[in-house]
Structure 1
Amino acid sequence: MSLIDRPIVQKTNLSFVIFIASAAALGGFLFGFDTAVINGAVKSVETAFSMNSVMTGIAVSSALLGSALGAFIAGTIADRYGRTRTMVIASILFTLSAIGSGIAFGVWDFIFWRALGGIAVGMASVIAPAYIAEVAPAELRGRLGSLQQMAIVVGIFVALLCDYFIAVAAGSASNLFWFNIPAWRWMFWTEVPPAVLYGIAALMIPESPRYLVAKRREAEASIVLAKAIGGNVEAKIAEIKQTVATERPARFSDLLSRRGGLLPIVWVGIGLSILQQFVGINVIFYYSSVLWQAVGFSEKDSLTITVITSIVNIVTTLIAIATVDKFGRKPLLLLGSIGMTLMLGTLTVIFANAAINPATGNPQLVGNQGLIALIAANLYVVCFGFSWGPIVWVLLGEIFNNQIRAAALSVAASIQWLANFAISTSFPPLLQNFGLGSAYGLYTISSAISIFFVWFLVKETKGKELEHM
């Protein structure tokens, strides 16, 4: 190969890898869109179906239980039928959920449709990082793996933007919109186009080379690897075959150590998943419009603040993509943990000492309290956005060896969704019975714990091949 030819080949390879990784990450976009689209509709759904705070928490979080199930079964489906077919299945479930949530007649069928979408979210949360990790060159894997989180935060942003424009155009999410249908129902239907696009994209990208080798389709795997990484494809195929030869279909018993109990690395994955949720990030994205209304902002202003917060999240995720392969995973996690602890601690102090509005019973921020709370909340999102948001997904795609990756990812992702469910379901009762200060106090404690967890238990994976994990 001449020096003149080499840059052209590298450019072609990079374009191909970015294309297939981006297509897979569309699942992350729908992940973010599906979980955040309910933000602008919470109050209207609550009113439409006459729900109390507990039922509101269950309705909002029902998708998360579905996500836990979807994450649990995704590894088995992906190993049996392939990564791209699993994406197509998830696309169909996303589409059905979006349509069903918008036509729901009562709280229980609404919960069903949200849970169905949750299954799709769970599947996408497992399959996207696994697929990207399996097709990306080692030197690009961190940045490409971060595309999953980038897609998630863009999905959150677009969902909140749709909520905002629909609510503003209709005057309120509860008002009638096009064809005399309540605006909140249109919020859910905006998910249909990207859900269909995800399925189309999944049909256009190649299957994972590791899956193809496992199915003895080496010729197809060679074509994919030649386009993706170039170089000595035969050597790479031989390396994958060597690891596959010692493998058998993954079983959850593989996650157990000889002494009984889960392998230490599985516990690390579970710990990362739990802490990512226990720092309370999804309270910001599921309930932020309710949260800011609770402290005196109007519905329109609350949605505006929520959109701004999601933009901040996108910018910081871009920072993570640019730095994850340069600085490594562990330093970014540590820096993010320290920043989140400080910002959540600030919010805890502010809300714990806020005056109570006698008319509404909600905390009322006076003077500079509102401004400080807004700054602290957005700096908290910044700290999460460049660290625990994208880096956890990168690590979950990397830290497990080939033998246990699918099963371990399924377990870790399932636990993550259960932790998300616990945090999201508990927030409305916490807000109503104990106040925002207590809620943010719990999230502050989790952020502080995450500092020590990363320092002592998380190992750096930057630049390592998956076969060497």
Structure 2
Amino acid sequence: MTVTTRRKSNTFYVILIAGAAALGGFLFGFDTAVINGAIAAFSKAYNANSLLTGLAVSLALLGSAVGAFYAGSIADRHGRVKAMVVASVLFTISAIGSGIAFTIWDFIFWRLLGGVAVGAASVIAPAYIAECSPSHLRGRLGSLQQLAIVVGIFIALLCDYFIAVTAGSAEAPFLFGIAAWRWMFWTEIPPAVLYGMAALAIPESPRYLVAQGREEEAEDVLTKILGGDVRTKIEEIRQTVMREREPKLTDLLGRSGKLLPIVWIGIGLSVFQQLVGINVIFYYSSILWRAVGFSEKDSLTITVITAAVNIITTLVAIAFVDKFGRKPLLILGSIGMTVALGTMASIFGNAPTDAAGNPTLVGSAGTVALIAANLYVFCFGFSWGPVTWVLLGEMFNNQIRAAALSIAAAVQWVANFAVSTTFPPILQYFGLGAAYGVYTTAAAISLFFVLFYIKETKGIELEDM
């Protein structure tokens, strides 16, 4: 076998195992978005008010904060593969339970369980991919996670669309006379089981194996990944593992006993990524468009198109994040989101209302709102969506990276929870215009946050942070 052929087979092998790990990202996106098409139907089925509906959607996000916070230490103790298998089991149980739930309370419990799996997958998959990727492929393979998330969102919304359209509505009976909205949750079972099977088929991370003293196994894995003599690489890993100690939260405190400024900046990035309201689009867009006069079928069609736009813009970000840098993309994204969200706030705030008090978009207002919504997703998709994760992986020095990342990821899920829980009551009591006014303000402030606090990390070695 020639060197080139061997390198190609090694590269193919790495892409294969990274793709299997990225299934966790796919389920992350799928699980968080699949509820979109079911919200109106299950609210009616359980006779839930707007606050309970908001909790049913968003309590899963608190589960994600818990999953993200503890996943790293579980993966360090028991291995990346076992942690993936546990996440797969939780995803499967959550999907089955959400579909058979009898009351809003056990429904919330099953969603909470799925949330823990989402949080775990959001931490384990990127760590495994980084540890198994050769340095020249790490950036592109690392972005597989973000791509998998947005593809998961798209496929979940597509499943919702086909089930609702085939049944006639999400509330109508579907296969075997069971309500369509319950089948929406059950569509997650096949990919959840596949994730567990894929995890069992891939090798353990060589870094974890060396840390456990299983160097022969690590050598076998690295030979398949890198080819050639890997003993020098094993020695490098051994040296770094010996130098490392488990990160502690106290590492994040300065001499004054307060959080280091860089940690606050990481938390700020995480919070602004959520405060601009992106997940309102992905969790609630079908009821959002129905609230302004679109039919259920048209609302789901719009939602699927929006998810497709998100995939395209993530590919744009992957192509340009290393060319343009992180900061310029964030600045462009903040400006674009402020304009798009401001347009939506103005249209929804000034729209005439029907007998039920819902705004109705007449004439060109509906078209403008649709264009603005997709422009907003486009601007988020090439900037704050992927770039936040890139920066959080780069901006902290080696000593505090793991601890700082776990804090930033947990805060991000909590912020996501706050935005998702408050949307239905704001929609009910203040209207869509007010909701989008809040997100517009957050987008405008995010621009100044980037200008004053974010430093460019493009081309800087992680060791020099």
TM-score bin (small chain)? over 0.9
Q: CA deviation at 1:108?
A: 0.5
Counterpart residue identity of residue 214, structure 1: A
Cα displacement (A) at 1:402: 4.1
Task: Establish whether residue 174 from structure 1 lines up as the match of residue 171 from structure 2.
Answer: yes
Distance 1:229 1:269 in 2: 33
Equivalent position amino acid for 1:245 in 2: M
Q: Are the counterparts in 2 of residues 133 and 397 from structure 1 also a CA contact under 8 Å?
A: no
Within 5 Å, which residues of 2 pair with 1:10-21?
10-21=7-18
Alignment match of 1:120 (pick from 117, 124, 132): 117
Query: Partners in 1 of 2:262 and 2:130 — Cα distance?
Result: 18
Q: Which moved more, 1:12-21 or 1:107-116?
A: 12-21
Q: Verify the 8 A CA contact 1:39 1:286 in the aligned structure 2.
A: yes
Pairwise CA distance, 1:468? 5.1
* Corresponding residue SS for 1:296: coil
Q: 1:406 is aligned with what amino acid?
A: A
- Residue number among 33, 36, 44 corresponding to 2:33 in the alignment: 36
Tell me what 2:195 maps to: 198
Whichever residue aligns with residue 388 of structure 2, its letter is V
Identify the match of residue 429 of structure 2 among 426, 433, 456. Answer: 433
The equivalent of 1:445 in structure 2 is: 441
Report matched runs for 1:46-195 at 5 Å: 46-195=43-192
Distance 1:138 1:468 in 2: 17
Describe the SS at the equivalent of 1:364. coil
Matches of 1:129 and 1:37, distance apart in 2: 22
AA partner of residue 202 (structure 1): A
CA distance in 2, matches of 1:83, 1:270: 26
Equivalent of 1:318 in 315, 329, 335 = 315
Q: Report if the CA contact (8 A) 1:129-1:397 is conserved.
A: no
Q: Distance in 1 between matches of 2:140 and 2:439?
A: 28
**How many angstroms apart in 2 are the aligned matches of 1:186 and 1:178?**
8
Q: 2:271 is matched with which residue?
A: 274
Corresponding letter in the other structure for 1:77 = I
2:218 to 216, 221, 224: 221
| Alpha-carbon separation, structure 1, partners of 2:173 and 2:458 | 52
Q: Which runs of 5+ in 2 are unaligned?
A: none
Out of 364, 367, 373, the position equivalent to 1:371 is 367
Task: Measure how far apart 1:51 and its partner are.
Answer: 0.5
Q: Which amino acid aligns with 1:164?
A: Y
Shifted more, 257-266 versus 409-418: the winner is 257-266
Say whether the 8 Å CA contact 1:145–1:394 is kept in structure 2: no
For residue 250 of structure 1, report the CA deviation from its aligned partner: 2.4
1:42-98 deviation per Cα after TM superposition (whole angstroms, max 9, x unaligned): 011100101111111001112111111111111111111122211111000000000
The letter for the 1-side match of 2:369 is A
Does the aligned pair in 2 maintain the 1:76–1:407 contact within 8 Å?
Answer: no
TM-score w.r.t. length of structure 2: 0.94
- Which piece of structure 1 moves more, 146-155 or 296-305? 146-155
Alpha-carbon RMSD: 2.0
Query: 1:462 and 1:23, CA in 2 relative to 1: closer, same or farther beyond 3 A?
Result: farther
1:348 — aligned with what? 345
Q: CA deviation at 1:257?
A: 2.4
Q: Which amino acid aligns with 2:385?
A: G
- CA distance 1:256–1:135, shift in 2 (3 Å): farther
Q: How far is the alpha carbon of 1:218 from its aligned partner?
A: 3.5
| Structure 1 CA distance for aligned equivalents of residues 243 and 307 of structure 2 | 45
**Residue ranges of structure 1 left out of the alignment (5+ in a row):** none
Quick one: distance in 2 between partners of 1:113 and 1:130? 26
CA deviation string 1:381-435 (max 9, x = no partner):
1111112212222333333344433332222111111100000000001111111
Which deviates more from structure 2 when the two are superposed, residues 97-106 or residues 195-204?
195-204
- Partners of 1:62 and 1:383 lie apart in 2 by 27
Does the CA contact (< 8 Å) of 1:243 and 1:467 recur in 2? Answer: no
| Aligned counterpart for 1:457 among listed residues 429, 453, 459 | 453
Instruction: Name the CA distance, whole Å, in 1 between partners of 2:455 and 2:139.
Output: 14
**Aligned partners of 1:222 and 1:460: how far apart in 2?**
36
Residues 382 and 449 (structure 1), Cα distance of their counterparts in 2 relative to 1, 3 Å cut? same
Correspondence for 2:357:
361
Q: Per-residue deviation at 1:241?
A: 3.2
Q: Residues 289-304 of structure 1 correspond to what in structure 2 (within 5 A)?
A: 289-304=286-301
CA distance in 2, matches of 1:380, 1:447: 10
Percent sequence identity over matched residues?
72
Shift in Å, 1:18: 1.8
Q: SS at the partner of 1:74?
A: helix
Distance 1:317 1:77, change over 3 A: same
State the Cα distance separating 1:465 from its structure 2 match: 5.2
Which piece of structure 1 moves more, 448-457 or 189-198?
A: 448-457
SS in 2 for 1:347: helix
Instruction: Tell me, in whole angstroms, the C-alpha distance in 2 between the residues paired with 1:213 and 1:394.
Output: 27
Instruction: Determine the structure 2 residue equivalent to 1:389.
Output: 385
